[in-house]
Amino acid sequence: MLQVKELKCIYGGAIEALSRVSILVNDGEIVSLLGANGAGKTTVIRCIMGEIGFSNGKIVDGTIEYDGKSLSQCLPFEITKLGVSLVPEERKLFIDMTVDENLMIGAYTIRDKRRIQENYEKILGYFPLLKDLRRRLAGYLSGGEQQMLAVARALMSSPKLLLLDEPSIGLAPKIAFSIFDIIGKIRREDKTSILLVEQNANMALQVSDTCFIMENGRTVLEGESCKLKDDPKIREIYLGIS
């Protein structure tokens, strides 16, 4: 589904943000990408979505392939059309627009009105709380409601691959657990592949099949999440979990 191979990225013409990053996401799999703040996780997500190279960064080596197609020359909207959708860090909702309007923006790549309506009804089934808030401005939602809306908006384009950047950040544990329950349900019911960037290593390892760990702009370790979760040395050195 997704293969990132030996990816190298620089900022400002000289600062190396990523060096030799390799990640594999198989069809129908949840893969977690873990590491300390500043390890380069969000930069990897931005590279996959085509944002690096159109701002202040540049990919100088390596490849990114999705479903057998190179993404190196694709613009972000083209990548979304191919079936990749992002829930960005800090959500980035249109706060002066309603819940419904934000959801419809998520479906901008779809021209079939019937399909949009089917997606809309299915997604409100995942997030019944949003059904009662459809006409509320996104800026007046709670943090948990906003995160639900950010995930729901990303799903409106019927992605085959969903990228989640820190979905639990700033949320109370109970709300974070409900978000992760929905993530698992999306994988089971829609067969959606998911790449999950998450600071809460314990939670990420519980929900994912495979894990890649980053340090200083490199992927330094990979393996089955269940095995990494139970390895005390890995927990202490790489994940900061005692």
pLDDT of residue 241: 64
The 10s digit of each residue's pLDDT in 94-129 is 999 999 999 999 998 888 999 999 999 999 999 988
Q: Report whether pLDDT(74) > 60.
A: yes
Mean pLDDT, rounded, for 17-40:
91
The 10s digit of each residue's pLDDT in 177-201 is 888 888 888 888 888 999 999 888 8
The 10s digit of each residue's pLDDT in 142-167 is 988 999 999 999 999 989 999 999 88
Q: Are the beta carbons of 91 and 106 closer than 8 angstroms?
A: no
Average pLDDT over the chain, rounded to an integer: 88
Q: Report whether pLDDT(13) > 80.
A: no
pLDDT of residue 240: 66
Could you tell me which residue, 89 or 135, shows the higher pLDDT? Answer: 135
Mean pLDDT, rounded, for 17-45:
91
Q: Report whether pLDDT(225) > 60.
A: yes
Domains of the chain and CATH, by start: 1-83+160-171+193-242 (3.40.50.300), 91-158 (no CATH)
Cα separation, 188 vs 242, in Å, equals 31
Q: Report whether pLDDT(55) > 70.
A: no
User: What residues have CB less than 8 Å from 98, skipping those under 6 apart?
Assistant: 134, 135, 136, 137, 138
Cα separation, 78 vs 74, in Å, equals 6
Cα separation, 133 vs 150, in Å, equals 14
- pLDDT above 70: percentage of residues in the chain: 95
Mean pLDDT, rounded, for 130-153:
92
Could you tell me which residue, 82 or 91, shows the higher pLDDT? Answer: 82
Encode burial over 186-207: b for 16+ CB neighbours within 10 A, e otherwise.
bbeebebbbbbbbebbebbbeb
User: How far, CA to CA in Å, does 168 sit from each of 94, 142, 242?
Assistant: 19, 13, 21
Angle at 130 between CA 124 and CA 134, to 5 degrees: 100
Q: Are the beta carbons of 189 and 222 closer than 8 angstroms?
A: no
Q: How confident is the model at residue 176 (pLDDT cuts 50, 70, 90)?
A: confident
pLDDT of residue 113: 92
